[in-house]
Structure 1
Amino acid sequence: MKNILPVYNPPLLGFLRWPYTLSITMGYNETLPWFYTNFIQVKVNKNFHEKKSEFNFNFYRGERNEFTNNPFISTTSIDVDFLNGLNHDILSFLKYSIDSGYYVVMLVDEFFIPGKYSYFKENYPHHIFIYGYDFEKKVLFLTGFSHGVYGHNVINFYDFINSYKSIINMYNNNLTPKDNIYLMKFNSNHSYNFSEEVFKDEILSYYYSKSHTDSLNYINVDNEYGLKTYKHLIYYYSLLSEEVEINDFGKIRSLHILWEHKNMMVKRLEYLSENGHLNNVELTIMNYNKMAKKAMILRNLILKSNVHVDKSVYIKVINGLRDLELIESEALEKALELFRKN
């Protein structure tokens, strides 16, 4: 018995909430107008230092669960206690879910998953994305990072069951917060037509560092948006350069996401131009190409010296971020003038 659901190469990898959902939808052309209208805004938790929390620079699409924010996906979640109360073995549950067309995202202990950094080193609760099974070979098919590279992987039933039992034990002993199991299926009934008005509104929100998303249900006190995130990126790397004791987990990921954002802006503008939604954006595309290259250089600087990053590397990153802020601010100002004329 074997069943493997289709998955596609996701364009964003910085946080797994994006590749897990986008790997389901990116193979369908009808989702592209939605995709290229979204993932424009970014945010940062501006009070990270005072709260002694991890620095978090990321795309922003509202304060909603990461697995329920794609309209082309129908998501169902199941409480772990409820599932355990049914006394069904987890492999039968996964088989039934996949046979019903559902991709499965669940929290497991990566201590038991080969290829993960924490494999047989430390208990590490983390979400995995399951898209298929083979009962003859006794393996599950996953997408995610393995040995630092995002791609397709397999895990044998034995290792998976151990990772699942371990996380249940951690739940029961209050060692990690409980999390639901998420079942996601492609929603072929949804449609999305490109709106020039919505697109321009998102660009304006980024330029003016504002976000109206979820304003009725969420009062922002911790986040900064859009162009103002540069200030906090610079502050973060300044603290690292001064060897202030802070969580440095985001030092590579933040620059990777910065590159993803600029690279996505290039692809977005090219797509919208090729499909007749925008005109005369060649200069803006050229500017964002320039920004994407600069952001990649900054990311690679940190990558190359990841083990022992000296102060001079951080200074180069800080100066590069200042350059990018100026280039992007000027490029968007010119682009907005063009939008107003159109």
Structure 2
Amino acid sequence: MNAIQLPIVNPPLKVFLRWAYTLSITSAHDETIPWYYSNFIQLFCNKKFLERGRQYYIDFFRGKPNELNFNNPFLLTCSVNYTILQSLASEAWPQFFAEQIRSGYYCIVFLDESKLSPAASYQKAPFPHHLFLYGFDWGERVFYASMFDRTGVYRNLQIPFQEFEDAVHSMRQLLRDKLTADHHTYFYKYEPHSPYPFDRMAAIDQLRDYLNGETHLNRINYNPDDKEAFGIKVYDYLQMYYDAVESNDPRLVERNDVRHLHALWEHKRMMSERVKYLVTEGIIPYDEELVEGCRELSIRMLKLRDRYIRHEMRTDREVFPQLRAQFDQFREVEPVLLQKLIKLLEG
């Protein structure tokens, strides 16, 4: 066949590509849903972003390594670096990746996104990044890909083979000149898992970790240190971040103000959807305070994120006291709801 598209869906989480890419594969299969709702409970962020001049981030936490590195039980994973692929000429890369897709592998290719016309970085400074390929059309000489486009919207689009080759060639040059590190290219094949029912104990453990501001996930391979905050404690550092934004603190680097609020909204929305799933599946009884409380947190967080987007278009200094007030309320309300959820899960 000259054209193939492997099955994908609009991913439920998009804040970082490691979630969007992998979940767009697994969420197409109903048997992965109990696993999905057993996870994505914990949050973490970095604490030393002002002292060390590092970019601030907040994200879901599922232990280390991250999701691209063999951390999804439904994905058979292979990774390679540019050293292994160095014998492959740039013009041979389209055929090589088309063959992997033909064999049922989704491809996440590390390349220079500034050579791709849909990207925000197009024709600007080099931007090493991962691109998700799920299909190709050999006659049209394009890959079917998913990425954040120049407007910041995650969507499916077509990447011409020539742009793909240019992006690979540029990445090779960046690596040759030691201007970046190789973050590897990944190949994923969906592999049906043995039955994975909703894991009450895994969910309870993550909920307790969240409330205690700590983590016990994958401690056999990873020792958390004082650079990261977990669970309920992330609000303290979110507040520190937006205080620095309000005062134009020169120590802030690579700002991405809206993304942090989007991550928080995805977390609240995900918790609300999880509670609805647990009630629908009969895993917990219906509890109006819990269902409506989680739904309300999700709505409030979405409104806060959208207000900040408007602030970035037309300055609204009142958004900063609103952020402080909302974070304080979340610190009060969320523990009450999550303690109730733990009790219902314990039966």
Q: TM-score, normalised by structure 2?
A: 0.94
Per-residue deviation, residues 217-244 of structure 1 (Å, max 9, x unmatched): 2121121111111111111111111211
Q: CA deviation at 1:72?
A: 0.5
- Contact 1:43/1:224 (CA < 8 Å) preserved in 2? yes
The residue type paired with residue 230 of structure 1 is Y
Q: CA deviation at 1:309?
A: 4.5
Q: Which residue of 1 aligns with 2:48?
A: 47
Question: Is the partner of 1:80 in helix, strand or coil?
Answer: coil
- Contact 1:281/1:335 (CA < 8 Å) preserved in 2? no
CA distance in structure 2 between the aligned counterparts of 1:171 and 1:111, rounded to whole angstroms = 15
Which residue of 189, 193, 200 corresponds with 1:185?
189
The residue type paired with residue 206 of structure 1 is Y
- Contact 2:135/2:145 (CA < 8 Å) preserved in 1? yes
Which residue of 223, 230, 235 corresponds with 2:235?
230
CA distance in structure 1 between the aligned counterparts of 2:237 and 2:45, rounded to whole angstroms = 7
Ranges in structure 1 where 5+ consecutive residues have no aligned partner: none
The residue type paired with residue 102 of structure 2 is D
Q: Which residue of 1 aligns with 2:208?
A: 204
Which residue of 269, 286, 289 corresponds with 2:292?
286
Per-residue deviation, residues 275-317 of structure 1 (Å, max 9, x unmatched): 1111133321211111111111111122112256454322221
The residue type paired with residue 116 of structure 1 is A
The residue type paired with residue 245 of structure 2 is L
Q: Which residue of 2 aligns with 1:24?
A: 25
- Contact 2:46/2:229 (CA < 8 Å) preserved in 1? yes
Question: Is the partner of 2:19 in helix, strand or coil?
Answer: helix
Q: Which residue of 1 aligns with 2:318?
A: 312
After superposition, the CA RMSD in angstroms is: 1.6
Q: Which residue of 1 aligns with 2:101?
A: 98
CA distance in structure 2 between the aligned counterparts of 1:290 and 1:189, rounded to whole angstroms = 35
- Contact 2:12/2:20 (CA < 8 Å) preserved in 1? yes
Q: Which residue of 2 aligns with 1:328?
A: 334
CA distance in structure 1 between the aligned counterparts of 2:343 and 2:204, rounded to whole angstroms = 11
Q: CA deviation at 1:332?
A: 2.2
Pair 29,50 (structure 1): closer, same or farther in 2 beyond 3 Å: same
Q: Which residue of 1 aligns with 2:309?
A: 303
Q: CA deviation at 1:179?
A: 2.2
The residue type paired with residue 311 of structure 2 is S
Q: CA deviation at 1:59?
A: 0.1
Q: CA deviation at 1:119?
A: 0.9
Q: CA deviation at 1:339?
A: 4.4
Ranges in structure 2 where 5+ consecutive residues have no aligned partner: none
Question: Is the partner of 2:320 in helix, strand or coil?
Answer: helix
The residue type paired with residue 253 of structure 1 is R
Per-residue deviation, residues 174-230 of structure 1 (Å, max 9, x unmatched): 111012110001011443122222222221111112211121221211211111111
Which residue of 136, 139, 147 corresponds with 1:144?
147
Per-residue deviation, residues 119-175 of structure 1 (Å, max 9, x unmatched): 112221111100111110011100121232111100111111111111111011011
The residue type paired with residue 192 of structure 2 is S
Which residue of 155, 158, 178 corresponds with 1:154?
158
User: Where do residues 103-122 of structure 1 align in structure 2 (5 Å cutoff)?
Assistant: 103-122=106-125
Q: Which residue of 1 aligns with 2:177?
A: 173
Range with bigger deviation, 121-130 or 195-204: 195-204
CA distance in structure 2 between the aligned counterparts of 1:332 and 1:201, rounded to whole angstroms = 12
Range with bigger deviation, 37-46 or 215-224: 215-224
Pair 307,171 (structure 1): closer, same or farther in 2 beyond 3 Å: farther
Question: Is the partner of 1:83 in helix, strand or coil?
Answer: coil
Alignment partner of 1:124 is 2:127: yes
Q: Which residue of 1 aligns with 2:81?
A: 79
Q: Number of matched residues?
A: 341
- Contact 2:147/2:154 (CA < 8 Å) preserved in 1? yes
- Contact 1:241/1:310 (CA < 8 Å) preserved in 2? no
- Contact 1:141/1:155 (CA < 8 Å) preserved in 2? yes
Q: Which residue of 1 aligns with 2:259?
A: 253
The residue type paired with residue 297 of structure 2 is M
CA distance in structure 1 between the aligned counterparts of 2:36 and 2:344, rounded to whole angstroms = 23
Identical-pair percentage: 32
The residue type paired with residue 172 of structure 1 is R
CA distance in structure 2 between the aligned counterparts of 1:50 and 1:311, rounded to whole angstroms = 25
The residue type paired with residue 21 of structure 1 is T
Pair 190,306 (structure 1): closer, same or farther in 2 beyond 3 Å: farther
CA distance in structure 1 between the aligned counterparts of 2:305 and 2:254, rounded to whole angstroms = 14
